[in-house]
Amino acid sequence: MSGLIFWVCLALFGFVLILYQLYPDERPLGAALVHRFAIVGLAVLGVLWGVFMRRPLGINVLYRLDAMITLGIGGVFGLSAYVNSEQRAAVWAAFIWHTFTVFSRALVVPSTGRRSAVIGAASYVPLWLAGLASALEHPEQLEVPPLPFVIGVVLFSGMATLLATTGSRVIYGLRAEVRQAQQLGQYTLDTLIARGPMSSVYRARHALLRRPTAVKLLPPEKHGADDLARFEREVQHMSQLTHPNTVAIYDYGRSPEGVFYYAMEYLDGVDLEVLIHLDGPLPAPRVVHVLRQICGALDEAHGRGLTHRDVKPANVILCRRGNQPDVVKVLDFGLVVEVERGNSSEGPAVLGTPAYLAPEVITSPERVGPQSDLYGVGAVAYFLLTGHRVFAGTTVAQLCLAHVHEAPIPPSARTDLRISAQLEFLVLACLAKDPSARPAGAHALRTALAEVPEAEQWDEDAALAWWRAFEERRKPAVDGAGTAGPRTITVDLMARATTSGKLS
């Protein structure tokens, strides 16, 4: 409100100064005094807007500022009307400009009708006094007799206050209804973290626990029943996983509008795709440290008969948990399938990210299993070590053909960073076309990674130093976040219970 009125009054003040320069004979006798008050008023508004609004303020402070701004503007316009009372239109011009202020407040500031009525009426008092003084001191300037003039001033301000009060009451009531409806929900969405063609992820807060949470939304208008069912299966599968390197699931449900969502732990880190684009290829010891944690998460999933099917850098978050750096979290099991249901009567489907698809996902989707995830681990390792994807292509078809038929260039030939022969052998083994030629499983790959020369070369001190530098580097982005207004979703617990019963 202070910023809005600042710019409007600045424009008005500039217009008046230019007008008096062009028509000096029209300049009122008390113009200099009014201009001083206007400059002081603009300075106060500028300070309120530029300083106080940059920090969180209590509601009582905001109430006082609200009253001070409106009453102060009414006082300045009242003074202007009185000082310029020898001009015929002075009072009415001041009334019109101040009415803009009162109406703007009704639109911008959340306020009850009673509060708007009190502040609006009080802010017109200086103008009533200016009108009364004009009627007594300069009756010759009035187009109507003094008494009707004073009554007209009171009626004009009363009607303006009544209209502003009604608007405030309606807007405030609508906001209250929205808040009341939103109280059915458990999660308040604050900041958009990521938006894709199929879903959106928001940083959120639980209504009672107040812990930071990430909420993923799947709008029904973008998906069919099969997509929604697969999304719900994703939640159920992920909620079974308890490995520390797998993102934890807290809750799921549907809003009354049909938006399916699930709430998971909020990870204040960086995904591997972004990390490589920011810093380039990682040193091999750090890559081994990351890969071993990915294998740990996949080992638990495979042990439960689950295959991820979309292992890629964007689905791996590197974060700092407590004071422990470089903690990996594997997320987005949106394409997870149960191995024993691979021959479902619904028929297999080619799902995943083309740059990281195992050959059998393309040629024989019914053969997809844990070995397919190991191919994804190999493709992720290749990307982390070289900064390049295993194969390049301008179309999905080119990428798919390359995965099926082309041999990958050894990663050591595509980077200047040192890669041991043992690590390169493991990466290329994961990228074997034949699933049986890959490591025996995620546990076996993790064990093999522990034996490469780089396994013990990335220590906690190096990781902490990197994270301190990284957090310093991203401070401006963090401080500027949160531009999106809070949103809340409601949870239909009965619908969730019904769907859960059907799927269990």
Output 166 or 85, whichever has higher pLDDT: 166
Most confident range (mean pLDDT) of 52-66, 107-121, 484-498 is 107-121
Identity of the residue numbered 137: E
pLDDT greater than 80 at residue 164: yes
**pLDDT range class, residue 77, cuts 50, 70, 90:** confident
Q: Note the pLDDT of residue 334.
A: 55
Output 435 or 68, whichever has higher pLDDT: 435
Task: Classify each residue of 472-482 as buried b or exposed e, where b means 16 or more C-beta atoms within 10 Å of its C-beta.
Answer: eeeeeeeeeee
Range with lowest mean pLDDT among 177-186, 289-298, 432-441: 177-186
Query: Quick check: 90 and 80 in contact, CB under 8 A?
Result: yes
- For 319-358, write each residue's pLDDT tens digit: 998 889 999 999 877 555 544 443 443 444 445 678 899 9
**pLDDT range class, residue 420, cuts 50, 70, 90:** very high
Average pLDDT, the chain: 81
Sheet strands (E) in 255-339: 260-265, 270-271, 306-307, 316-321, 324-330, 337-338
- For 134-148, write each residue's pLDDT tens digit: 778 777 766 777 788
Q: Is 310 a catalytic residue?
A: yes
pLDDT greater than 70 at residue 503: no
Asked whether the domain spanning 270-473 has the same topology as the one spanning 187-266+483-503, the reply is no
Output 47 or 270, whichever has higher pLDDT: 270
What's the rounded mean pLDDT across residues 260-265? 84
Q: How many CB atoms lie within 10 A of CB 78?
A: 24
For residue 192, give both structure tokens: 């958009």
The percentage of the chain sitting over the pLDDT mark of 70, rounded to a whole number, equals 84
CA 488 from chain center: how many Å?
Answer: 13
The percentage of the chain sitting over the pLDDT mark of 90, rounded to a whole number, equals 30
Tell me the CA distances in angstroms from 190 to 21, 117, 203, 251, 426, one per residue in order: 50, 33, 6, 18, 43
Which of the residues 310, 326, 332, 373 is marked catalytic?
310
- For 88-107, write each residue's pLDDT tens digit: 667 777 888 888 888 888 88
pLDDT greater than 90 at residue 318: yes
What's the rounded mean pLDDT across residues 31-58? 77
Residue with tokens 């009627």: 135
For residue 465, give both structure tokens: 């130093």
**DSSP state, 41?**
H
Output 495 or 25, whichever has higher pLDDT: 25
Query: Quick check: 470 and 228 in contact, CB under 8 A?
Result: no
Output 256 or 330, whichever has higher pLDDT: 330
- At the top level of CATH, the class of 187-266+483-503 is alpha beta
Q: Note the pLDDT of residue 447.
A: 97
- Residue 198: CA atoms inside 13 Å, Cβ hemisphere, count? 9
Q: Note the pLDDT of residue 351.
A: 54
CATH 3.30.200.20 fits domain 270-473: no
Domain ranges of the chain: 2-182, 187-266+483-503, 270-473
- 3-state secondary structure at position 191: strand
pLDDT greater than 60 at residue 126: yes
Sheet strands (E) in 140-283: 187-195, 200-206, 212-218, 249-254, 260-265, 270-271
pLDDT greater than 90 at residue 195: no
What's the rounded mean pLDDT across residues 464-487? 66
- For 174-186, write each residue's pLDDT tens digit: 776 655 444 335 7
Query: Quick check: 191 and 127 in contact, CB under 8 A?
Result: no
Q: Note the pLDDT of residue 476.
A: 58
Task: Supply the DSSP string of 418-470, one letter for each residue.
Answer: ---HHHHHHHHHHT-SSGGGS-S-HHHHHHHHTTSGGGGSS-HHHHHHHHHHH
pLDDT greater than 90 at residue 281: yes
Query: Quick check: 486 and 188 in contact, CB under 8 A?
Result: yes
Q: Note the pLDDT of residue 86.
A: 67
For residue 116, give both structure tokens: 């708007």
**pLDDT range class, residue 259, cuts 50, 70, 90:** confident
Q: Kindly report the CA angle at 422 between 420 and 428, in degrees rounded to 5?
A: 105
Residue with tokens 């093999």: 448
